[in-house]
Amino acid sequence: MKYPVTFLPQNIVTHAPEGTTVFNAANWAGLPIDSTCGGRGTCGKCKVRLVRGADGVSEADHRFIAEAELAAGWRLSCRAAVHGECVAEVPRLMSSPKAALLGYGQHVLLDPNVAKVYLKLDEPTLEDQRGDLTRLLDALRVEGWDVRPDPALWRALPGVLRDSDWTVTAVVVGDELIAVEPGDTSAEAYGVAVDVGTTTVVAAVVNLMTGAVVAIKSTLNGQAAFGADVISRASHVMADPGGLTVLHERIVATLNALVAELCAQAGVRPEQIYEAVAVGNATMLHLLLGITPEPISVAPFIPAVDGPVTVAAADFDLALHPRARLGLLPHLGAYVGADIVSGVLATGLVRNPDDRLRLYIDVGTNGEIVLGSRARALATAAPAGPAFEGAQIRCGMRASDGAIEGVRIEPQGAGAVRLQVIGGGHLAPIGLCGSGLIDAVAELINVGLVDSSGRLLTPAAARAAGQPSELVERLVTVDGVRAFLLSAPGQNIVLTQTDIRALQFAKGAISAGVHVLLDAMGVTPDDVYEVLLAGSFGSYINPASARTIGLVPQVPVDRIVAVGNAAGEGAKMCLLSFREREAAHQLPGFIDYLELSGRPDFNDIFMEVLAFPPPAGAPPVVRRQ
């Protein structure tokens, strides 16, 4: 159940799920409410006046708010939960908070979960014999921090306080005191945002004080030797008694090596990294935590952990600060993971004030799809298969040097075929990656060598249709299968009829998933304002080609936008703003997940969208109801 929450005097209205705090509802609506403790009820700064919807007085309210103000409806917004229609009056901020544009045009307040508090403590005397820890915690409470000390720091505390002449910096992560450093180190705080992809792992070291990314790098996931997809990884765990340990150690080693390289590049010590935020699909994050993904891979597809978690990074052998914390975002479903939650956050898809319907597609072996606006959102996952990754394609390969990533066929005249090769024009092509596959098929459709059914013309049919001789000569037969020669004859890089069918099935699965969401939402493709193509692969897809093959609805090309590694951007937002992290934690309560397996209408829809869209000007195909 969601209830309207109105914020005055701005007159901003949002809808918050039952039990959401007024503070988090304001974060969701993009309205800053003052706070230094991260909405934990310890700083007393987030006061609002509840005109309607007050539901009692908390202990924290009594501590920070006078009785007369309580009677007038003033409450700490972080302690006031929404249980019905609510109207809150928000005081104007007394200062301008630090903010930055992050993600994709998202205005984000810089309020990291990590705080460094510089303290000058009173030295103990015969009249003041408080213990070292009590003295430290009392000083932090004066600054608005009521924290739980990590027991691991107790042993070093007496020496640190006395060696630093009682001048120290406390390091707080969330509501935990994880370190006490000598002197003033408040200007030095870093975190790492990680996107744990099945194939590629991307990490960025971020200055938590300024919001600047000081180093970023990607590398191959060390688990890749055990299969290209999550099913292969889960199968390895099930088949080998030591498989879980090996896969966990591989991803930890990958992350530690990546972080070490980034720290060296940025001149940052690993012990200066106090927090990591990691996103990825459910299987990858389970393996990172050392949890078997077996139940995710079989019906009814249940993850062991689907909510947000915060754990000690050292418990999982991550080489950061000894008491650094690792935060993981929640999943929407077994196959729509924290990486999609992070991407939705980064694009503002369900918080955009224009209320327009947007479609988010992360294209890959498993195509994750979200359709929605500020009013409602739905998500699903479609089993696209490996074609988009260049797998099971005759000349397919990963997107690396020598791969054809773009294809252009001149529609008139000689019919010249132009290739764009990763690594530059001086490299001879050695294969075809996913974006090149989509381009090649789209171009063959555009020039009329592939029809809507996906059939590649024979040389005789092409000649009869008036195709240029240059193109007719490229129509060859390879091992008894029709094919189109993309490269120079000696290089023998071909696109076969079988490859075209593989792409059809891959794009058909995603297109069917899109249509299921459209039907469930009660809208048509014409109602979609914008399509957002996410993931490293989505960044390289030609939007016009994606529309030509029917991978995306037939929206104007300028409204098909590549948003790149949106998952990584969302992880950075969560690292730099506890408010954005809280918004991410709320997303599973706002986005409804639809499971495609077992739906009686999915196969029918899949068959209806399997064909390529008709060329411009042809009558539209009408779907059966």
291 and 313 share one domain: yes
Q: What is the pLDDT of residues 72-92, one digit of tens each?
A: 889 999 889 888 999 999 887
* pLDDT, the chain, mean: 90
With respect to residue 371, please indicate whether it lies within any of the assigned structural domains.
yes
Radius of gyration of the chain (CA): 28
Tokens of 173: 């992560």
With respect to residue 459, please indicate whether it lies within any of the assigned structural domains.
yes
Residue 276 confidence (pLDDT): 98
Q: What is the pLDDT of residues 173-220, one digit of tens each?
A: 999 999 999 999 999 999 999 999 988 899 999 999 999 999 999 999
Residue 594 confidence (pLDDT): 93
Identify the domain containing residue 531 by its residue range. Answer: 347-386+503-609
CA distance 563 to 560: 10
H or E element: which one contains 261?
A: helix 243-266
CB of 51 within 8 A of CB of 87? yes
Q: What is the pLDDT of residues 224-275, one digit of tens each?
A: 899 878 889 999 999 999 999 999 999 999 999 999 999 999 999 999 999 9
Task: Find all residues with CB under 8 Å of 464, minimum gap 6, and list them.
Answer: none
With 80 as the cut, is the pLDDT of residue 118 above it? yes
199 and 323 share one domain: yes
CA angle 130–132–138, rounded 5-degree value: 70
With respect to residue 614, please indicate whether it lies within any of the assigned structural domains.
no
With respect to residue 73, please indicate whether it lies within any of the assigned structural domains.
yes
Q: What is the pLDDT of residues 366-407, one digit of tens each?
A: 899 999 999 999 999 998 888 888 888 999 998 889 999 999
Residue 186 confidence (pLDDT): 94
Domain end marker among 448, 471, 502: 502
H or E element: which one contains 231?
A: helix 230-239
152 and 171 share one domain: yes
Residue 23 phi/psi, 5° resolution? -60, -45
In SS3 terms, 356-416 reads as CCEEEEECCCEEEEEEECCCCEEEEEEECCHHHHCCCCCCECCCCCCEEEEEEECCCCCCC
Helix residue spans in 566-625 (DSSP H)? 566-576, 578-590, 602-609
Task: Find all residues with CB under 8 Å of 618, minimum gap 6, and list them.
Answer: none
Which residues face 418 on adjacent strands? 408
With respect to residue 624, please indicate whether it lies within any of the assigned structural domains.
no
319 and 399 share one domain: no
With respect to residue 617, please indicate whether it lies within any of the assigned structural domains.
no
Residue 432 confidence (pLDDT): 94
Residue 228 confidence (pLDDT): 78
CA angle 353–309–117, rounded 5-degree value: 85
CB of 429 within 8 A of CB of 464? no
288 and 368 share one domain: no
CA distance 588 to 568: 18
**243-266 and 230-239 helices cross at what angle (nearest 10)?**
130
3-state secondary structure of 109: strand
Range of lowest pLDDT (172-176, 203-207, 538-542, 606-610): 538-542
With respect to residue 51, please indicate whether it lies within any of the assigned structural domains.
yes
Number of domains present in the structure of the chain: 5
CB of 223 within 8 A of CB of 250? yes
CB of 559 within 8 A of CB of 342? no
CA distance between the termini of the chain: 31
Which residues face 288 on adjacent strands? none
